[in-house]
A and B are shown apart, each in its own frame.
Chain A
Amino acid sequence: MARDMLNTLETDLTRRQILKYLGGGLVSLGLLNLPFSKPASGAQQRPNIIFILSDDHRWDMLSCQNHPVVQTPNMDRLAREGVLFENAFVTTSLCSPSRASFLTGQYAHNHGVRNNMTPWDNANVTFLEQMKDAGYDTGFIGKWHMPGRFPRLRGVDRFVTFTVDGGQGRYFHCPLIVDGQETDSRKPYITEELTDYALDFISQKRQHPFCLYLSHKAVHYQFIPPPEFDRRYDDACLPLPGEADSWVGITNGNLYPQPLGALYRNYCECLDALDQQIGRLINRLDEIGMIDDTVIIYVGDNGFFFGEHHQIDKRWAYEESIRIPFIVRYPGLIRDPGRRAGQMVLNIDLAPTLLEIAGIPTNRDIDGRSLVAILKNRETPGRDAWLYEFFKDYPYSVPEQFALRTERFKYIEFPCGRRPELYDLVNDPQEKHNIIATPGGQSVLPELKRRLDGLKRGSRP
Chain B
Amino acid sequence: MTDDPRTIKRPSLIRRAILPPAVITLVMIVLFVTYYTSWEVANRSLHWFLTDLVGMAYGFLIIFSVIFVYPCMYFMGAGSQERVVGALIIPLMWMAKEVIRQCAFFTFGESLFYLFMPIHFNILTISIGLTGTCELICRSIDRLRPGRPQVKIITPLPVIAIAIMLAVLVFTLYDGGARYFFLFGDIYQLLFR
Say whether B117 contacts A245, CB under 8 Å. Answer: no
Q: Does B82 contact A (CB under 8 A)?
A: no
Q: Is the interface of B mostly helix, strand, loop or mixed?
A: helix
The answer to whether A246 and B101 touch (CB under 8 A), given A165-B178, A166-B182, is no
Q: Mark B159-193, 1 if CB is under 8 A from A, else 0.
A: 00000000000000000101101101110110011
The answer to whether A168 and B59 touch (CB under 8 A), given A242-B47, A394-B188, is no
The count of chain B contact residues (Cβ–Cβ below 8 Å) is 38
Say whether A246 contacts B119, CB under 8 Å. Answer: no
Say whether B52 contacts A246, CB under 8 Å. Answer: yes
Say whether A251 contacts B59, CB under 8 Å. Answer: yes
Q: Does A262 contact B (CB under 8 A)?
A: no
Chain A residues whose C-beta falls within 8 Å of the C-beta of B114 in the assembled complex: 395
**Which of B51, B184, B186 gathers the greatest number of chain A CB atoms within 10 Å?**
B51
Q: Does B75 contact A (CB under 8 A)?
A: no
A170, A251, A257, A395: the one contacting B102 at CB < 8 Å is A395
B52, B101, B106: the one contacting A245 at CB < 8 Å is B52
Q: Give the CA-CA distance A245 to B189 in the complex, in Å.
A: 34
Q: Mark A245-261, 1 if CB is under 8 A from B, else 0.
A: 11100111101010000
Chain A nearest Cβ from B50, distance in angstroms: 8
Q: Does B108 contact A (CB under 8 A)?
A: no
Q: Mark A308-352, 1 if CB is under 8 A from B, else 0.
A: 001000000000000000000000000000000000000000000
Residues 23-47 (chain B) with a chain A CB within 8 angstroms: 32, 35, 38-39, 44, 47
Say whether A168 contacts B178, CB under 8 Å. Answer: yes
Chain A residues whose C-beta falls within 8 Å of the C-beta of B38 in the assembled complex: 245
Chain B residues whose C-beta falls within 8 Å of the C-beta of A400 in the assembled complex: 105
Chain A residues whose C-beta falls within 8 Å of the C-beta of B193 in the assembled complex: 117
The answer to whether A245 and B182 touch (CB under 8 A), given A310-B39, A392-B105, is no
Say whether A222 contacts B62, CB under 8 Å. Answer: no
Residues 63-105 (chain B) with a chain A CB within 8 angstroms: 94, 98, 101-102, 104-105
Chain B residues whose C-beta falls within 8 Å of the C-beta of A166 in the assembled complex: 181-182, 185-186
Chain A nearest Cβ from B154, distance in angstroms: 32
Say whether A117 contacts B179, CB under 8 Å. Answer: no
B48, B58, B105, B176: the one contacting A251 at CB < 8 Å is B58
In this complex, what residue of A is CB-closest to B51? A245
In this complex, what residue of A is CB-closest to B94? A251
The answer to whether A392 and B106 touch (CB under 8 A), given A222-B176, A251-B59, is yes
Say whether B44 contacts A242, CB under 8 Å. Answer: yes
Q: Give the CA-CA distance A300 to B37 in the complex, in Å.
A: 34
Say whether B179 contacts A251, CB under 8 Å. Answer: no
B55, B104, B189: the one contacting A246 at CB < 8 Å is B55
Q: Is the interface of A mostly helix, strand, loop or mixed?
A: loop
Q: Does A17 contact B (CB under 8 A)?
A: no
Q: Give the CA-CA distance A383 to B160 in the complex, in Å.
A: 64
Q: Does B13 contact A (CB under 8 A)?
A: no
A165, A170, A222, A416: the one contacting B105 at CB < 8 Å is A416
Chain A residues whose C-beta falls within 8 Å of the C-beta of B117 in the assembled complex: 255, 395
Q: Mark B102-126, 1 if CB is under 8 A from A, else 0.
A: 1011100010011001010000000
Q: Give the CA-CA distance A166 to B186 in the complex, in Å.
A: 9
Q: Give the CA-CA distance A243 to B38 in the complex, in Å.
A: 10
Q: Give the CA-CA distance A397 to B103 in the complex, in Å.
A: 9
Chain A nearest Cβ from B65, distance in angstroms: 13
Q: Does A398 contact B (CB under 8 A)?
A: yes
The answer to whether A253 and B101 touch (CB under 8 A), given A166-B182, A166-B185, is yes
Say whether B56 contacts A398, CB under 8 Å. Answer: no
Say whether A251 contacts B55, CB under 8 Å. Answer: yes
Q: Give the CA-CA distance A310 to B32 in the complex, in Å.
A: 15
Say whether B104 contacts A247, CB under 8 Å. Answer: no
Q: Does A399 contact B (CB under 8 A)?
A: yes
Q: Give the CA-CA distance A65 to B63 in the complex, in Å.
A: 40
Chain B residues whose C-beta falls within 8 Å of the C-beta of A252 in the assembled complex: 101
Say whether A399 contacts B104, CB under 8 Å. Answer: yes
B48, B101, B179: the one contacting A165 at CB < 8 Å is B179
Chain A residues whose C-beta falls within 8 Å of the C-beta of B48 in the assembled complex: 245
Q: Give the CA-CA distance A461 to B169 in the complex, in Å.
A: 49
The answer to whether A250 and B39 touch (CB under 8 A), given A394-B106, A395-B117, A399-B105, is no
Q: Mark A79-107, 1 if CB is under 8 A from B, else 0.
A: 00000000000000000000000000000
Say whether A117 contacts B55, CB under 8 Å. Answer: no
Chain A residues whose C-beta falls within 8 Å of the C-beta of B51 in the assembled complex: 245-247
Chain B residues whose C-beta falls within 8 Å of the C-beta of A246 in the assembled complex: 51-52, 55-56
Chain B residues whose C-beta falls within 8 Å of the C-beta of A416 in the assembled complex: 104-105
Chain A residues whose C-beta falls within 8 Å of the C-beta of B55 in the assembled complex: 245-247, 250-251
Chain B residues whose C-beta falls within 8 Å of the C-beta of A257 in the assembled complex: 119
Chain B nearest Cβ from A224, distance in angstroms: 9
Chain B nearest Cβ from A252, distance in angstroms: 8
Say whether B185 contacts A253, CB under 8 Å. Answer: no
Chain B residues whose C-beta falls within 8 Å of the C-beta of A165 in the assembled complex: 178-179, 182
Q: Give the CA-CA distance A251 to B185 in the complex, in Å.
A: 21
Chain A nearest Cβ from B100, distance in angstroms: 11
Chain A residues whose C-beta falls within 8 Å of the C-beta of B184 in the assembled complex: 395
Can you list 27 A-B contacts with CB-CB less than 8 angstroms, sorted by A residue number? A117-B193, A165-B179, A166-B185, A168-B178, A168-B182, A245-B52, A246-B51, A246-B52, A246-B56, A250-B59, A251-B32, A251-B58, A251-B62, A253-B98, A394-B188, A394-B192, A395-B102, A395-B106, A395-B113, A395-B188, A397-B104, A397-B105, A398-B105, A399-B105, A400-B105, A416-B104, A416-B105
Q: Which 6 A-B pairs have the closest CB atoms?
A: A245-B51, A166-B182, A247-B55, A246-B52, A165-B178, A395-B114
Chain A interface (Cβ < 8 Å from any Cβ of B): 117, 165-166, 168, 170, 222, 242-243, 245-247, 250-253, 255, 257, 310, 392, 394-395, 397-400, 416
